[in-house]
Structure 1
Amino acid sequence: TLLDARRPPEPAHELGEPVHRRSECEEWYERAASQGHRRAQVRVGMLAAARGDVVEAARWYREAAEAGSR
Structure 2
Amino acid sequence: MAITRSNSGLDVVLDAGRTFFHQKRTEIQHALARRKAYRATHHELSTLTDRDLQDLGIPRSNIKRLAMEAAYDC
TM-score (norm 1): 0.29
TM-score (norm 2): 0.28
